[in-house]
Chains A and B, each alone.
Chain A
Amino acid sequence: MKLKTIVTAVCACGVSLAAQAQISGDTIKIGFITDMSGLYADIDGAGGAEAIKMAIADAGGNINGKKIEFISADHQNKADIAASKAREWFDQQGVDMLIGGTNSGANLAMAKVAAEKKKVFISIGAGSARLTNEECTPYTVHYAYDTIALARGTGGAIVAQGGKSWFFLTADYAFGASLEKDTADVVKAKGGKVLGSVKHPLSASDFSSFLLQAQTSGAQILGLANAGGDAINSIKAANEFGITKKMKLAGLLIFINDIHSLGLNLTQGMYLTDGWYWDMNADTRAWSKRYFEKMKKEPSMLQAADFSAASNYLKAVKATGTDDGDKVMAYLKANKINDMFAKGGVVRPDGRMVHDMYLMEVKKQADSKYPWDYYKVVATIPGDQAYATKAETKCSLWK
């Protein structure tokens, strides 16, 4: 008898845990859901949360008397946790705007929830271009980059530099496949050739056999259509087998944290496209210095984008005098983004924030003068050339 009572009592506690605080009202609440503990924790994660807090502090902590609040959560790379947290925050916590961190699947799910609730959703860490094509909504802004921009940036610029024959090492999932396809299309369009490709399973433990196939192809450029740990292990193995002596590596999705973990000896000479670099100009350096004081690392493109997105959102709220989703989206699409992250950035009708991308080459150890001095900016790729054009769009909102 006691047993069942205890059971129901505990169940009731569980229910009350589920009954969250009521809507906050009269505050501007920014929510941030990203991977804080898994594979993508370093490129965004807690650093991203810090960056957003910096934006809030810069805005003075309140707008026209309304306080700005911030909550963050770890989706643990599970789309269902991301979506249910997002839904709960919109329904019960009065969150007005959601910033999506890494993991495309999680971002796609969150975008749907935000659209349903008519709240602004700014996706920072996802690479999937589906966010502004098949899955576009009036409330999604895809801010920092996407796979098309990376592919066109790296592919086009390298072919222009003379790297005409390519071999792809691709991670066997949709993301890797679209990275490879977008890059291959650009390479062929600019007069290059794709000599072959090989798909490896996600999180493969050993890349030697795949790399050997790359080497026998005789291509000049080895395109790494993979990311994170897979890219890092591929690069390590490529060095080990002497592949870097005959082929140049093109990292299609590489962040500065990856270079940091590999070290310059293994990555020197590698090409990659990035949307932002901490050491590009005085503005970026100034902001990065503030970030470094808090996090003891230099920021990645995503963390800088988190800051920029939050700042511009708050600017929009101030200008329109409201946090209503439709009005803020209208403002964002009507006004350019001009800050340390992007100059002349435009939010298009399909939700894509278009800004310049940069082809980087990783410096040699000898040329690196101070910590995190890793990149040389080789070329600037104007936004309208990097991203998909109106003619190619699959978004029904932009016809």
Chain B
Amino acid sequence: MDEIFGIPTAALMSQLLLGLVNGSFYAMLSLGLAVIFGLLNVINFSHGALYMMGAFLAWMGIEYFHLNYWIMLVLAPLVVGAFGIVIERTMLRWLYKLDHLYGLLLTFGITLMVEGVFRSFYGVSGQPFSVPEQLAGATDLGFMVMPNYRAWVVVASLAVCLSTWFVIEKTKLGSYLRAGTENPKLVEAFGVNVPLMVTLTYGFGVALAGFAGVLAAPVIQVQPLMGQNLIIVVFAVVVIGGMGSILGSILTGLGLGVIEGLTKVFYPEFSSTVVFLVMVVVLLLRPAGLFGKEK
């Protein structure tokens, strides 16, 4: 079969593969959002800005402190997570009992401030960031040439996603987390420090965004507004997957990457908007998203 729908098979295969690469990245990004919403009921609009912060911190670490990519892959998320913890302690915790809207608006405001600060120091043109040497170069797969770095992105994203899912759904710690958000008083009565758990969870979710930022830095221009376009797509992914479901976000992220990839072949101009069409269709058919539970 040389052609499918008029597109050469090899080309279609390569587009699908690229779609999976992007999808794993989306899954990684929406994971943090899903964790924060699923466990804390907070719609964290600042995810995009914190993703940018992760990328910038990685750049700063390399530029100012002469560290390398691998160290920053661990360090940047930790710093972003710490920043998230500060936000949670000082501002977010007052909003838990209120409507979702307020958490959304607060984090939106934080986004504007963070982006503004970075922009005023670094401008918008972006910083040079090269692919780390160990991952440079590409492998010829026959039907296409796959850069090694992109393969690494898939591996890292899927590893982080699956281990997070495992911890939350299958371990004791995860069960404390899930119980703690459903019924904090009861869990506290058992001697578990729920507020601390909540804070650390937010920090973790945010650190995931920072990690995604470091992963993205070599391939996407590192500039203060880099999170802006991504944030509503990531939102859509979480909503489609079902707002409480970790697995839902992961699978939707991957699926969306593939759908976008196909759209880029057949109707490229629509590829940034197709996610919204999918969202409307899914929400009309399944009210709480694909894997969500109606509250």
Contact = CB atoms under 8 A, between A and B. Distances in A.
Are A and B in direct contact (Cβ within 8 Å)?
Answer: yes
A209 B124 contact: no
B116 to A, nearest CB: 8
A285 B116 CA distance: 33
B219 A201 contact: no
Given A205-B229, A209-B15, A209-B261, A240 B219 contact: yes
A27 interface: no
Interface string A188-212: 0000000000111111111011101
B150 A208 contact: yes
Contact of B18 (A212, A261, A266): A212
Given A201-B271, A241-B145, A209 B265 contact: yes
B221 A201 contact: no
A198 B125 contact: no
Contacts of A204: 271-272
B174 interface: no
A240 B221 contact: no
A38 interface: yes
B128 A209 contact: no
A232 interface: yes
23 contacts: A39-B225, A40-B124, A203-B272, A205-B22, A205-B229, A205-B233, A206-B219, A206-B220, A208-B18, A208-B150, A210-B268, A212-B14, A212-B15, A216-B11, A229-B225, A232-B221, A236-B221, A237-B219, A241-B145, A257-B125, A258-B125, A265-B130, A266-B128
A201 B269 contact: yes
Contact of B124 (A38, A212, A213): A38
Contacts of A210: 264, 268
Given A205-B230, A241-B147, A42 B125 contact: yes
A296 to B, nearest CB: 11
A185 interface: no
- How many chain A residues sit at the interface, stated as a range, is 35 or more
B287 interface: no
A199 B271 CA distance: 10
B132 interface: no
A325 B225 CA distance: 39
Contact of A240 (B15, B127, B150): B150
Interface in B14-48: 14-15, 18-19, 21-22
B107 to A, nearest CB: 21
A216 B125 contact: no
Contacts of B280: none
Contacts of A198: 268
Interface residues of B, number: 41
Interface of B: 8, 11, 14-15, 18-19, 21-22, 116, 119, 123-128, 130-131, 138, 144-145, 147, 149-150, 219-221, 223, 225, 229-230, 233, 261, 264-265, 268-273
Contacts of B130: 263, 265
Contacts of A212: 11, 14-15, 18, 144
Nearest to B21: A208
A240 B220 contact: no
Given A199-B268, A210-B268, A229-B223, A261 B128 contact: yes
A37 interface: yes
B128 A262 contact: yes
A160 B261 CA distance: 36
A262 B21 CA distance: 23
A374 B143 CA distance: 36
Contacts of B22: 205-206, 208
